[in-house]
Structure 1
Amino acid sequence: MAVDDRDRTSTHTDSGLHARVELSRRRLIGTVGAAGAGGLALGAVGGVAGHAAAQPEPGAGLASVGGTEVPFTGEHQPGITTPMQARGHLIAFDLAPGAGRKEAAALLRRWSATARRLMAGRTDARDSAVALDAGPSSLTVTFGFGHSFFGRTGLAKQRPFALDPLPAFPADRLDARRSDGDLWVQIGADDALVAFDALRALQREAGDTARVRWQMNGFNRSPGATEKPMTTRNLMGQVDGTNNPKESEPDFRKRIFVPAQGTSGGSAGTSGGAADPDWMAGGSYAVVRRIRMLLDDWEKLSLGDQEQVIGRRKSDGAPLTGGSETTEPDLDKVRADGKPVIAANAHARISRPDENGGAAMLRRPFSFHDGYDEDGVPDAGLLFICWQADPRRGFVPVQRKLDRGDALSAFIRHESSGLFAVPGGARSGEYVGQRLLES
């Protein structure tokens, strides 16, 4: 990462993937330490209780939230294994008529320069001014390409097989206007104004090259909001994030990131070739789903019935078979009447990787609340984002099984969907996607 002339005084490794967090001396004075963020990962597609994408630093202090900086450059793009942030924006663009590969490359060059600057906390007169008083606040900006992007830029031969459209799921109620897109951007920050400033900057710089297709806003628990760092809860009140893959696991990178060509771990494409072209090395695939929670129906259930739906205690996220949040459920344990303690259709059972042929994904979503409809029903739920090396082996088999018999399905509705190829991180002097657009 290119470092400006401010005096950097603190660097640490983020859970083994070498994501550095740098604090300026001016922002560090008087603070307690680097702020981590508890993570949110639903539930609706693969484990309603799971650890954050990366674990928070213990003893985070509110005074240091603004000073936390995430590097723009690296093997992987930021915003994948970065600890969950308090605020998030998702936005998809379609290229304007007549815009092609040249215009897309220029746009990604502008976007990357802006993301690099804002993630370092360097705001100036070019920006909306709403973030002038804040530090980087863990800002991350992540870029991805949709299936349609490749045809519109003359790069169809470079489109990965893993980016084939997701299959139709019988329970989906998708709005095409809020699904898919040529380009996708994920923004996260621990300060709402910093996140909004980045959103406005990128939207303005799209100019005549791309137009907004859809945009969604999300939130999560703020760093320092709890007495001690802990797994967050979703809008159903469930502890959410325990069963996420962990970076300490030996196969984490293989499950989440695309390997370089010529290394082990690649998968075959549907047409017999390699699943991933060279430009995807170090990248990942993001499935994005707007999942509405039918909260009025959910909240009519008794506490015991809610716990049966999930298969975990609501108080602490522990499995109904006993122990703590991180205790492995005893799926063979039965009650006195001979029925399993964790029901056959409980979400915690059906979504487990070992119940789905080892399928795994890193879930890193945001909650959303977009008001109430005319009947007073809340439009709220989860902006579900999951990361994997191949969605055909990660998201798809798990969602198919959930669609067939998950007890939680009666209380959620999938309303929009997208799949995006997220290339590896930019090297020093590069822009995101350069290896694709200049190939």
Structure 2
Amino acid sequence: MGFATGRLTLPNAETARLSADPGAATTISPFGAHQAGVATAQQQYVTLVAADLAVTDAVSLRRFLADVSRTIVAIVRGEDTPPSSMYPDGAVTPTDFATGLSPVGLTVTVGVGPGVFALPGVAGEAPRRLRPLPEFTGDHLDPRWGGGDLLFQICADDPQVVSAATRAVRARMPGSAVIRWTQSGFLSSPHDGGTPRNMFGHKDGTSNPRIGTREFADVVWALPDEPSWFRGGTYLVFRKIRMLTASWDLTARDEQDAVIGRRRGDGAPLTGKGEFDAPDLDAVGADGTPVIAADGHIRRAHGFPMLRRSYTYDYGFLTAMAGGSPDPLKHPEDHPHAPGTKDHHHGGHGKLDVGLLFCAYGNDPDRQFIAAQTRLAENDRLNRFIQHTGSAIFAVLPGFGEDGYVGDTLV
């Protein structure tokens, strides 16, 4: 891949990103009890690649995972990808797309879907909680943006590094896997180092467990009743959430804060003074009503700890018209205007596809994400402004050592 030579190597887990400077040579080791990219400070850019397997037995799957692992080890170090017998004579690889670029915290995290365990010869028992997600009330799911046998979460602090790494992984797929869907996103970098903001202007990720704490381990890593091969793994729930920014922008600031239960300006709960103050769900106002509304988002989501590594996406006009049932574009221009506003064309903003790539890690999806989303779907004031259009779940494989490969405990 030719990212760079001469670098600082960090352990893959419970590490802070040292620098968001695209010129920095930060390298995160791919080895350890857990894969990199979970207990790693969140990078600025991501591409998620889901694929369907083309192999038909465990032997072929093992060969593919070992080949992909060699590629991952090379590119996160800033080295060239291993040679492939599929390239014809005269083909020059790598393509120099990433030549001169540092790895800048590149991680590639691999997960598997339920279908992998149907392959003949896969000896590992399926993780106990790996099953397709239900369709929740209000979902606008497009089947082309969900599911998959494999997931590659590719993150770094330079979008071109992410793109080059995606290209390197994709190059190992012919004959073994076929891309099913991809999603790409970005994360803001507030100058004060604070919590990034989403498309609605609110801080996103305030309530995450802290990397390296007992709470983090208890929330994220596989529970003791899981198959022994899955020790060190976790689950990843993916949801593509379209955010109706035009409707949101025309909503009064006080109402926006009431929808979330936090102040947009500083991220503090409506009952607190600072972003990290615990919300007081028992507090009532002078009129006797709860300060944080009964259908306020943080009240409805309270009590379901999980790790979120979510990213903003902005696809413009490209994919919003891709379908889905129910139709996500039905009545796209329904939103309030100031009294006396003349009839007008809306400029197409109702068809924009922008929002959040929601990635939730946890060790019990039934009691974490599924329970939370069921409750949110029932009565969350935020539902007026969002549409869930993609959905998938994967078991993130345990880490591997220098003499192994990702998935070596499974096949």
Normalising by structure 1, report the TM-score: 0.79
Tell me which residue corresponds to 2:115: 148
Tell me which residue corresponds to 1:242: 206
Deviation of residue 95 (structure 1)?
Answer: 1.2
Match of 1:289 among 239, 242, 249: 239
Tell me which residue corresponds to 1:130: 97
Tell me which residue corresponds to 2:311: 366
Q: Deviations over 1:284-328 (max 9, x none)?
A: 000011111111111110111100100111011011123111111
Q: Deviations over 1:194-248 (max 9, x none)?
A: 10011011111101111111111111125xxx43211110111101111111235
Tell me which residue corresponds to 1:205: 172
Counterparts in 2 of 1:84 and 1:65: CA distance versus 1, 3 Å: farther
Alpha carbons 1:70, 1:78 under 8 Å: kept: yes
Q: Distance in 2 between matches of 1:7 and 1:191?
A: 18
Alpha carbons 2:40, 2:211 under 8 Å: kept: no
Alpha carbons 1:320, 1:341 under 8 Å: kept: yes
Counterparts in 2 of 1:20 and 1:399: CA distance versus 1, 3 Å: closer
Counterparts in 2 of 1:196 and 1:332: CA distance versus 1, 3 Å: same
Q: Distance in 1 between matches of 2:76 and 2:407?
A: 18
- The secondary structure found in structure 2 opposite 1:193 is helix
Within a 5 Å distance, the mapping from 1:261-340 to structure 2 comes to 266=224, 274=225, 276-340=226-290
Tell me which residue corresponds to 2:371: 397
- The secondary structure found in structure 2 opposite 1:384 is strand
Q: Distance in 2 between matches of 1:279 and 1:370?
A: 38
In structure 1, give the amino acid aligned to 2:216.
F
Q: Distance in 1 between matches of 2:31 and 2:116?
A: 23
In structure 2, give the amino acid aligned to 1:107.
F
Q: Deviations over 1:118-142 (max 9, x none)?
A: 1111136633321111111110000
Match of 1:70 among 22, 28, 33: 28
In structure 2, give the amino acid aligned to 1:115.
I
Percent identity between matched residues is 37
Tell me which residue corresponds to 2:19: 35
Match of 1:221 among 182, 188, 195: 188
In structure 1, give the amino acid aligned to 2:207.
N
Alpha carbons 2:231, 2:398 under 8 Å: kept: yes
Alpha carbons 2:23, 2:104 under 8 Å: kept: yes
Q: Deviations over 1:239-279 (max 9, x none)?
A: 111111123543321210015xxxxxx3xxxxxxx4x2111
Tell me which residue corresponds to 1:411: 385
Counterparts in 2 of 1:242 and 1:328: CA distance versus 1, 3 Å: same
Counterparts in 2 of 1:65 and 1:76: CA distance versus 1, 3 Å: farther
Q: Is structure 2 residue 45 aligned with structure 1 residue 100?
A: no
Q: Distance in 1 between matches of 2:27 and 2:19?
A: 10
Counterparts in 2 of 1:431 and 1:12: CA distance versus 1, 3 Å: closer
Q: Is structure 2 residue 113 aligned with structure 1 residue 170?
A: no
Q: Deviations over 1:148-183 (max 9, x none)?
A: 111134438611221022223122121112211111
Name whichever of 122-131 and 203-212 sits farther off. Answer: 122-131
Q: Is structure 2 residue 71 aligned with structure 1 residue 114?
A: yes
Q: Distance in 1 between matches of 2:123 and 2:5?
A: 43
Unaligned runs of 5+ in 2: 82-91, 322-347
In structure 2, give the amino acid aligned to 1:111.
V
Alpha carbons 1:292, 1:382 under 8 Å: kept: yes
In structure 2, give the amino acid aligned to 1:384.
F
Normalising by structure 2, report the TM-score: 0.85
How many aligned residue pairs are there? 369
Q: Distance in 1 between matches of 2:230 and 2:94?
A: 31
